[in-house]
């Protein structure tokens, strides 16, 4: 027996989830100087997590990270096992026994609840499901969105809200040469949405858009921003935030919003309204969203600590559609400690902790399931590097026995009848998607069901 990381006893690591954080963890292990063998296990046949199913179809440049992940996936020490759900097809206990360490990089697949009456009325949707639907995620392809409504409300002012707003506000011509799912393009072509209200519970200085994404909402072919300059008045604490370097992004946003407010009406057919200091308290309607009731807020607290406090003043907005874009949330996995309030696997320096706060040997986390659902693609790199640093620091404390990896797990070898998707298989699916997209001038036409992807491989699922 020897410390893992040698030819005689390679360090065998399973990574659960093929999103950015999983790939950055793999990259960091490959660069560690140890002899490593990495098996990445992903519940969908397709890798890349939210880079494929979250990043907006009209932002192709942001998907360029995929080229980096593809290079990592082609390393001889790396193997990909797609179409395997850890915690369902493969118990965590069995996985942990077959590897020296398991890194969970399973992201945040659910969403936060608003917790107001009427939240689940027909016509009220989460951004998570809408984004998954237009991006062809198999879990969401059958969702139906009532785009026959003329007025939509988006709750939340982060970049996901900006994505949802842009997709609703763009014309078909602006979307048809992207990799948007065909079913979404067809539904959006028939959309009657004309007014989109993007609502923040705090003020314009606290909106979480990044400047580029905000500016883009003012650059659409057939939509204009309508903004009452009175909405942009700031309290002294917000002005103080602008004096600090931390407030630079917000200051830029305010300049953009002021420029929007100064624009004359252009007569474009869709209008985007920004409203601030409003919290939804109830969504009303007879079996379908008809109105949203808001409470006006004021800000309370010092610079960078301002929270929204209700004033008691209510106002209503007639709307037939609501998109709740208030943040994603991680989900539990059988066999892994879970903090249900935060929606994360509790961890310290990437080491997973049990309910007593003690480290669970050999289990690690990175990305959104470790930090919560914030941060751009690049934010996950230092996060995963830090987790791998902890793992490497623990080498002497890990089980010293050589581990079998996938060879010790019949399910990963297809023995269970599950059609496990290798990286070569994925390349075949990828090429088929690209070929399907070409006649339409699209970078790809995604397969939106697992069965369709497996059919490309000539394999029924079971």
Ligand X SMILES: Cc1cc2nc3c(=O)[nH]c(=O)nc-3n(C[C@H](O)[C@H](O)[C@H](O)COP(=O)(O)OP(=O)(O)OC[C@H]3O[C@@H](n4cnc5c(N)ncnc54)[C@H](O)[C@@H]3O)c2cc1C
Ligand Y SMILES: NC(=O)c1ccc[n+]([C@@H]2O[C@H](COP(=O)([O-])OP(=O)(O)OC[C@H]3O[C@@H](n4cnc5c(N)ncnc54)[C@H](OP(=O)(O)O)[C@@H]3O)[C@@H](O)[C@H]2O)c1
Count of residues that bind ligand Y according to CB under 6 A: 25
Task: Kindly indicate which of the ranges 100-108, 197-205, 236-244, 274-282 contains the residues binding ligand X, using the contact rule CB under 6 A.
Answer: 100-108
Contact of residue 43 among ligand Y, ligand X, none (CB under 5-8 Å per partner type): ligand X
- How far apart CA 44 and CA 83 sit, in angstroms, is 5
Q: How far is the CB of 130 from ligand X (least distance, A)?
A: 9
d(CA 99, CA 406): 9
28 forms part of the interface with ligand Y (CB under 6 A): no
Only one residue has tokens 């915690």, namely 87
Question: Using CB under 6 A, which of the segments 152-160, 238-246, 291-299, 451-459 binds ligand Y?
Answer: 152-160
User: Sheet harboring 321-324: ordered strands across?
Assistant: 124-126, 321-324, 151-155, 195-199, 270-275, 223-226
What CA–CA distance (Å, rounded) separates 296 from 446? Answer: 43
Asked if 238 touches ligand Y (CB under 6 A), the answer is no
* Residue 333 is a binding residue for ligand X (CB under 6 A): yes
Residues 372-401 contacting ligand X, CB under 6 A:
375-377, 379-380
Window contacting ligand Y (CB under 6 A); options: 9-17, 243-251, 322-330, 418-426? 322-330
Q: Which of residues 117-176 bind ligand X (CB under 6 A)?
A: 131, 160, 163
Candidates 103, 193, 322, 326: give the one binding ligand Y (CB under 6 A): 326
Report CA torsion sign: 163, 168, 170, 174: positive
107 touches ligand Y (CB under 6 A): no
Structure tokens at 251: 């200051």
Pairing of strands 321-324, 328-329: unpaired
Size of the site for ligand X (CB under 6 A): 37
Q: At what angle do helices 182-189 and 127-134 cross, to 10 degrees?
A: 110
Residues 427, 450: Cα–Cα separation, whole Å? 15
Tokens of 47: 């890798």
Residue nearest to ligand X (CB): 19
- Residue 109 within binding range of ligand Y, rule CB under 6 A: no
How far apart, in whole angstroms, are the C-alpha atoms of residue 360 and residue 299? 41
* Nearest to ligand X of 111, 241 (CB atom): 111
Whole-angstrom distance, CA of residue 30 vs CA of residue 68? 13
Q: Which stretch binds ligand Y (CB under 6 A): 35-43, 151-159, 396-404, 415-423?
A: 151-159
Interacting residue ranges for ligand Y, rule: CB under 6 A = 114, 155-161, 163, 200-202, 206, 208, 210, 213, 279, 325-328, 373-376
């Amino acid at each position: 027996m020897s410390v893992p990381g040698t030819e005689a006893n390679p360090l065998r690591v399973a990574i659960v989830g093929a999103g950015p954080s999983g790939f950055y963890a793999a990259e960091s292990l490959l660069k560690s100087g140890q002899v490593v063998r990495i098996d990445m296990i992903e519940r969908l046949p397709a890798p890349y997590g939210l880079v494929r199913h979250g990043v907006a179809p009209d932002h192709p440049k942001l998907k360029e990270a995929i080229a980096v992940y593809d290079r990592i996936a082609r390393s001889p020490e790396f193997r990909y096992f797609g179409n395997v759900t850890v915690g369902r097809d493969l118990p965590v206990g069995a996985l942990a026994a077959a590897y020296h360490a398991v890194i969970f990089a399973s992201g945040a697949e659910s969403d936060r609840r608003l917790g107001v009456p009427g939240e689940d009325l027909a016509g009220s949707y989460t951004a998570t499901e809408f984004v998954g639907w237009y991006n062809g995620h198999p879990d969401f392809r059958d969702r139906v969105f009532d785009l026959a409504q003329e007025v939509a409300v988006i709750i939340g002012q982060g970049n996901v809200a900006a994505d949802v707003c842009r997709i609703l506000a763009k014309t078909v011509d602006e979307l048809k040469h992207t990799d948007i799912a065909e079913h979404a393009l067809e539904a959006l072509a028939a959309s009657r949405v004309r007014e989109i209200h993007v609502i923040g519970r705090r003020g314009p200085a606290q909106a979480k858009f990044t400047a580029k994404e905000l500016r883009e909402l003012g650059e659409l072919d057939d939509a204009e921003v309508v903004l009452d300059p009175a909405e942009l008045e700031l309290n002294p604490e917000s002005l103080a935030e602008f004096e600090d370097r931390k407030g630079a992004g917000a200051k830029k946003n305010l300049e953009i919003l002021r420029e929007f407010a100064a624009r004359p009406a252009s007569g474009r057919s869709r209008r985007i309204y920004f409203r601030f200091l409003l919290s939804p308290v109830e969504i009303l309607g007879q079996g379908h969203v008809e109105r949203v009731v808001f409470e006006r807020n004021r800000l309370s607290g010092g610079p960078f600590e301002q929270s929204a406090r209700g004033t008691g003043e209510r106002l209503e907005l007639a709307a037939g559609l609501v998109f709740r874009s208030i943040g994603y949330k991680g989900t539990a996995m059988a066999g892994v400690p879970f903090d249900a309030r935060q929606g994360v696997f509790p961890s310290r320096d990437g080491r997973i902790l049990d309910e007593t706060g003690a480290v669970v040997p050999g289990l690690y986390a990175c990305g959104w399931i470790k930090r919560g659902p914030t941060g751009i693609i690049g934010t996950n790199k230092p996060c995963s590097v830090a987790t791998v640093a902890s793992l490497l620091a623990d080498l002497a404390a890990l089980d010293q026995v050589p581990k079998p990896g996938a060879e010790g797990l019949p399910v990963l070898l297809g023995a269970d009848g599950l059609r496990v998707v290798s990286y070569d298989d994925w390349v075949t699916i990828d090429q088929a998607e690209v070929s399907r997209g070409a006649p339409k001038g699209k970078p790809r036409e995604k397969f939106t069901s697992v069965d369709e992807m497996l059919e490309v491989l000539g394999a029924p699922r079971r």
